[in-house]
Amino acid sequence: MTDLFAAARALVEPSKGLLAADESTPTAAKRLAAYGIASSPELRRQFRDLFLSMEGVERYLSGVILYEETFAQKGSDGKLFPDSLEARGIAPGIKVDEGTEPFPGSAEELITKGLVGLPERLAAFKKGGAVFTKWRAVIRIEGDALPTAAAVLENAKRLASYAKEAQVAGLVPIVEPEVLLAGKHSRARSQAVIQETLATLFSALAAQGVDLGGLLLKTAMARSGDASAHKDASEEVAAATLEALVASVPREVAGIVFLSGGESPDEATANLAAITREARRVEAPWPLTFSYARALQEEALALWKGKAENVEAARAAFRARLEKVQAALVSSP
Ligand code: 5MM
């Protein structure tokens, strides 16, 4: 377990964070299509290479969450992506959930699958160089009706089973119960749902005997829904987020990383800076950092357009965003 503790702590080392490059094939196709780029195994390889092979990326990233297709592909240096990352001191991670399916108990909610055959898949990824893993559940807010307690509980139980299996396999689990941004809900409702979801998750993790010192939490920020008329200030998001986390996350957890959830790159950066300041103010016990996909990649994708001649400009935009997000981690009042 000592190795897992060290690996988990290294992922949240000061001034560095995670790139979530683990979009499944359908999600990657959607992200590429938004910028007029076709999706094929080779174009998805180039999409990953744009970010993973950027010179000096190790100054910003402690780890990268990969998708299974990318895990078996090679970068422009001719090395398998996990080997190439490892050689530059970046921990390779792997998304091991297999997406969602309708929850039988509630037709409008989703449950994450992937427990069947999980030990074998974890062993194979460990052999291939993975240091950590991730499993994402999605929690939808709809007025006071959703989420249902049953869907939150079932997702929490599966997250906990996955986390236990990951630790048995010698891999750090990242548990990601994503409370979605979509909807008209208030910031207070988001805060309450995040708090309840995390409290349920940490009860399930305790029931499975998961060691929290070798685990990271990936969470959304507490904020008004994207269809709400209210626009939160970053300081409001930070206060609500820290209140929810302090009320529900045990201090033994190795670290907390944030998803961007559809926030713009500037919003996700400003909110992270405010969260960093608020965490210092309330003396939060865990290291905090980013684990963004869209907020780190969007600007570069818009410039790249799938063309080799645009790689340099796209990487410059990626580097500029990483600089800003890194600065947010050491932001002063
Ligand atoms: C919420 O999604 C995670 C973080 O991404 P954003 O910063 O864009 O919100 C991300 O790791 C996500 O889990 C992966 O992109 C995989 O998503 P799919 O939908 O392909 O499973």
Contact 232, 187 (CB under 8 A): yes
Among 200, 203, 198, 278, which Cα is nearest to 233's?
A: 278
Can you tell me which atom of ligand 1 is nearest the CA of 26? 20
The SS3 assignment for 228 reads coil
How many whole angstroms from 293 Cα to the centroid of ligand 1? 6
- Give me the number of domains the chain comprises: 1
Atom of ligand 1 nearest to the CA of 25: 20
**Mutate which of 27, 264, 301 to test ligand 1's pocket (most atoms within 8 Å of Cβ)?**
27
For residues 268 and 221, give the distance between their C-alpha atoms in angstroms, rounded to a whole number. Answer: 9
Question: Would you name the residues annotated as active-site residues?
Answer: 176, 218
CA 312 to ligand 1 center in whole angstroms? 25
The Cα 134–Cα 127 span in angstroms is 17
- What is the Cα–Cα distance from 85 to 88, expressed in whole angstroms? 5
Which of ligand 1's atoms lies nearest the C-alpha of 292?
A: 7
Pocket of ligand 1 (CB under 6 A): 20, 22-24, 27, 65, 99, 136, 178, 259-261, 292-295
22 alpha carbon – ligand 1 mean position (Å) = 7
What string of pLDDT tens digits covers the 333 residues of the chain?
A: 679 999 999 999 999 999 999 999 999 999 999 999 999 999 999 999 999 999 999 999 999 999 999 999 999 999 999 999 999 999 999 999 999 999 998 999 999 999 999 999 999 999 999 999 999 999 999 999 999 999 999 999 999 999 999 999 999 999 999 999 999 999 999 999 999 999 999 999 999 999 999 999 999 999 999 999 999 999 999 999 999 999 999 999 999 999 999 999 999 999 999 999 999 999 999 999 999 999 999 999 999 999 999 999 999 999 999 999 999 999 777
249 three-class SS: coil
**Which are the contacts of 48, defined by CB distance < 8 A and separation ≥ 6?**
21, 66, 70, 73, 75, 81
Closest of 251, 309, 320 to residue 279, by C-alpha:
251
Write the single-letter amino acid at 331.
S
CATH number at residue 199: 3.20.20.70
DSSP 67: P
Question: Does 333 map to a domain?
Answer: no
Q: What is the pLDDT of residue 329?
A: 97
Domain span at residue 84?
4-328
Token pair in block for residue 28: 């990657």
| CA separation, residue 160 to residues 135, 185, 239, 298, 305 (Å) | 10, 28, 28, 32, 39
pLDDT at 331: 74
Mutation pick for ligand 1 pocket among 95, 96, 174, 301 (CB with most ligand atoms within 8 Å): 95
Report CA(307)–ligand 1 centroid distance (Å): 24
Task: For residue 91, give the nearest of 29, 186, 9 by alpha carbon.
Answer: 9
Cβ–Cβ under 8 Å, residues 162 and 124: no
Residue 115 lies in a domain: yes
CB 216 within 8 A of CB 256: yes
The residue nearest atom 16 of ligand 1, judged by CA position, is 23
CA angle, residues 174, 180, 184, in degrees to nearest 5: 160
Angle at 6 between CA 115 and CA 130, to 5 degrees: 45
Calculate how far, in angstroms, residue 264's C-alpha sits from the geometric centre of ligand 1. Answer: 14
pLDDT value at position 5? 98
Atom 15 in ligand 1: residue holding the nearest Cα: 23
pLDDT tens-digit series, residues 237-256: 999 999 999 999 999 999 99
DSSP characters for 25-47?
HHHHHHHHHTTT----HHHHHHH
